[in-house]
Amino acid sequence: MELLRLVGLFALTALAEILGCYLPWLVLKQGKSALLLVPAALSLALFAWLLTLHPTAAGRTYAAYGGMYIAVALLWLRLVDGVALTRWDIAGATIALVGMAVIALQPTAH
């Protein structure tokens, strides 16, 4: 159950960061309304807050989070941008998620 909670928290954190960066991209690259910067800022604030909920040291959290970020960004590429993933995308995301698991689930010294 701890693994499922951790994966969900990492995925939600990544989604908040990607959305917070995607909305300004829409404003700057596609001429969308500058009002999108408000939810973008809120999403980035949510991202920062979610990072504080992770149970380990900040540096270890950021290192492990990177693996989930890669996987969620590729899902975003497929679902939002409509770009088909390649076997290399999937292999890279798998490697990144294994790295995340190694870092996040390491035994703790008591």
The 10s digit of each residue's pLDDT in 60-81 is 888 888 999 999 999 999 999 9
For the chain, report the end-to-end CA distance as a whole number of angstroms.
21
Indicate the burial class of 4 (C-beta count within 10 angstroms; 0-12, 13-18, 19 or more). Answer: exposed
The 10s digit of each residue's pLDDT in 11-28 is 999 999 999 999 999 999
Residue 41 lies in a domain: yes
Residue 74 lies in a domain: yes
Residue 61 lies in a domain: yes
Q: What is the largest CA-CA distance in the chain?
A: 54
| Closest to 104 in 3D by CA, of 63, 76, 47, 72 | 63
Indicate the burial class of 23 (C-beta count within 10 angstroms; 0-12, 13-18, 19 or more). Answer: buried
Q: How many domains does the chain divide into?
A: 1
The 10s digit of each residue's pLDDT in 25-46 is 999 999 999 999 999 999 999 9
**Spatial distance between the Cα atoms of 50 and 56, rounded to a whole number of angstroms:** 13
Instruction: Tell me the helices (H) and strands (E) count for the chain, helix number first.
Output: 4, 0
Of residues 92 and 64, more confidently modeled: 92
Contact status, residue 16 vs residue 50, Cβ threshold 8 Å: yes
Q: Which domain holds residue 30?
A: 2-104
pTM confidence score? 0.84
Residue 109 lies in a domain: no
Residue 80: what pLDDT? Answer: 94
